[in-house]
Amino acid sequence: MASSRPLVPPTRIDFTPEDQEWIAQRIKEVLASGRLTLGAFGEQFEREFAALTGAKHAIAVNSGTASLEIMLRAMDVAGKDVLVPANTFFATASAVIGAGGRPVLMDTDVATLSTSLAEIERRITPATAGIMIVHIAGIITAEMPAIAAYAKSKGIWLMEDAAHAQGATLDGKHAGTFGLAGSFSFYPTKVMTSAEGGMIVTDDDRMLEEAHIYRDQGKASFLQNTHIRMGYNWRMSEPHAVIGLRHLQGFAGLLAGRRKIARIYDAALTGENGLRPIATPKGCAPNYYKYVVMLPDGCDRARLKGWLKEHHNVHCSGEVYEVPLHRNEVLKHLDPGDLTGAETACGRQLCLPIFASMTEAQGHQVVEALTDAKTKGVL
Ligand SMILES: Cc1ncc(COP(=O)(O)O)c(C=O)c1O
C-alpha cells in the first residue's frame, strides 16, 4: 500500500511566481529588441557569474558539455592524454574525445568522491597534457591546492569540471578557479539553472579569446564569416541568459535552503542508522548539489529506495553516479584496470532528497524514514 505521508521529492527546480514574472518581463524585452543571442543579458550573466566565483572572465555557452569541449579545444588536446576521473558524468570524458584527445581514467577517493593526488601521480605519463578534476556533489577535496601545485611542477594544465559546484568553496576559493579554467553546467537539476547552459571561468586572457572564437563557429569575430578554429554553435541565447541571471541573483537563498537541510542530515546521520555521510573536507563549504551517504555493506540500494518511497513517500534521486564511466558500453575500452574506489563510490552511495525550497519538516521526514528502514532491517 502506498504511503499516506506527504511527498518528499528527490529534487525540485525552484522558480517562484515573482521569478517567473521577472523572467517573462525580460524575455519580452529581448523579443522586442531583436537581439536574441549573444546580447546584453548574456554579458550581464557573465559579469555576475565571474563576480560570484572571483574569476577575471566568464564565458556563457549553451551547455556544460560545450564549456568543457571549448576549454579542451583551446588547450589543443588532439592526440594527447587527459586525466579524468572514472567517477563522473559521461560528458567529462566525451568532451575530451570530442576535442580529439584520449581520456585516461583515474580512480576515486571514496572519502571525498574526488581524485587524490596520489592517484594522479600513479596515472601521469609523458603523454599527459592535463588534469580534469570534478567536484562531485559540490564537494571540493582539500587536496586541490596540492593538485594545482603538482600540475604546475609537471608543466601540465589543471582544469575543473565544476558542473556540480556553483557556490562551493575551499578556504573561501570558489570551485573552478584552482587551475587554468573551470566549467559549469546550468542543466535544470543543478543548484542554479538557465534551463540549458554552461559557463567557463578563467583568469587567462588567451582562454577568454579562444572561448569567444570557439563558441561562435570558430569565427574570427561576431560579424565576420571567416573561420579560424574548428568551432561549433555553442552560443547561449538571451532567453537562457535571462533565466540564469534570475537564479544567480537569488543564489544566496538557493544555497542557504540546501545548507539548512544538510545541517539536519549532518546532525541526524551520525552512524547509528548505518549510514555514513561523505565527510566535508577541511576548509570546504559544499553547495549540496547532492547529499551523498554511503550505505553499509550488503545493503540493497534499489530495495531501500523502493521501500522509502512505498512506506514513507520519500523519493531519492539517481546517483552521482550509478556506475563509473568504464561500465558504460561506449566507454568500456577506456578501462585501465584497478578502479576499485570508483566502483565502491558508485555502488554504495545513496543521494538523499535535497533542494532549495525543501522544508525542515521534509528533512526530518527523510531522517525518520531512514531510522525506520534501519529498524525494519531494510538498511
Ligand atoms: C560532472 C558533469 N559534467 C558535465 C556535465 C554536462 O553538462 P550539461 O548537461 O549542461 O551539458 C554534467 C551535467 O549534467 C555533469 O554533471
CA distance linking residue 77 with residue 366, whole number of Å: 45
The domains of the chain are located at 17-249, 251-375
pLDDT in the model for residue 263: 97
Q: Which residues pair with 198 in a beta bridge?
A: 61, 185
281 lines ligand 1 (CB under 6 A): no
pLDDT in the model for residue 276: 87
| Candidate of 90, 166, 187, 232 to mutate for ligand 1, largest count of ligand atoms within 8 Å of Cβ | 187
CA angle in degrees (0–180, nearest 5) for 284-256-114: 30
CA distance linking residue 31 with residue 29, whole number of Å: 5
pLDDT in the model for residue 273: 74
CA distance linking residue 311 with residue 325, whole number of Å: 33
CA dihedral 342, 345, 346, 350 (to 10 degrees): -170
67 lines ligand 1 (CB under 6 A): no
Residues 6+ apart with CB under 8 A from 34: none
Question: If DSSP states are collapsed to H, E and C, what string results for 48-82?
Answer: HHHHHHCCCEEEEECCHHHHHHHHHHHCCCCCCEE
CA angle in degrees (0–180, nearest 5) for 211-216-222: 105
Length of the chain: 379
Q: Which atom of ligand 1 is nearest to the CA of 185?
A: 10
Q: Which atom of ligand 1 is nearest to the CA of 88?
A: 1
Tell me the CATH number for domain 17-249.
3.40.640.10
Asked whether the beta carbons of 214 and 232 are under 8 A apart, the reply is yes
Residue stretches of the chain with pLDDT short of 50: none
138 lines ligand 1 (CB under 6 A): no
pLDDT in the model for residue 1: 64
CA distance linking residue 296 with residue 213, whole number of Å: 49
Kindly report, residue by residue over 34-87, the tens digit of the pLDDT.
Answer: 999 999 999 999 999 999 999 999 999 999 999 999 999 999 999 999 999 999
Tell me the CATH number for domain 251-375.
3.90.1150.10
Which amino acid residue places its CA nearest to atom 10 of ligand 1? 64
CA distance linking residue 308 with residue 367, whole number of Å: 11
Distance of CA 185 from the midpoint of ligand 1 (Å): 5
pLDDT in the model for residue 248: 98
91 lines ligand 1 (CB under 6 A): yes
pLDDT in the model for residue 314: 98
CA distance linking residue 46 with residue 245, whole number of Å: 9
Distance of CA 182 from the midpoint of ligand 1 (Å): 12
319 lines ligand 1 (CB under 6 A): no
Distance of CA 67 from the midpoint of ligand 1 (Å): 9
pLDDT in the model for residue 270: 85
Distance of CA 91 from the midpoint of ligand 1 (Å): 6
Question: What SS3 class is residue 133?
Answer: strand
187 lines ligand 1 (CB under 6 A): yes
